[in-house]
Amino acid sequence: MPIVYFEDLEVGSVHLGRDCLCDMQEMLEFSRRNDPWPFHVDEAAAARSPFGGIVASGGFIVTLWYPLSRRDL
């Protein structure tokens, strides 16, 4: 996978890599420990948010993305 720098990204661009499977419980456990905003951990609060439901924390996404972006794995 080529290195992509932030300033090279364009709105709507798509960058594909290997598949990664995670489940809701894994995401919730991460959020409860590391990023407990209501829209990451509470169904009712998340339903009232602009997202309309629970969303993954950016930190969780990075923890999934990092090993997938490494060329030596």
Please tell me the predicted confidence (pLDDT) of residue 72: 60
Give the tens place of pLDDT for each residue, 1-40.
Answer: 567 788 988 998 887 777 888 899 999 999 999 999 999 9
Please tell me the predicted confidence (pLDDT) of residue 19: 82
Confidence (pTM): 0.70
Q: Give the DSSP letter string of 2-62.
A: ----GGG--TT-----------HHHHHHHHHHH---HHHH-HHHHHHSTTSS----HHHHH
Which is higher by pLDDT, 51 or 69? 51
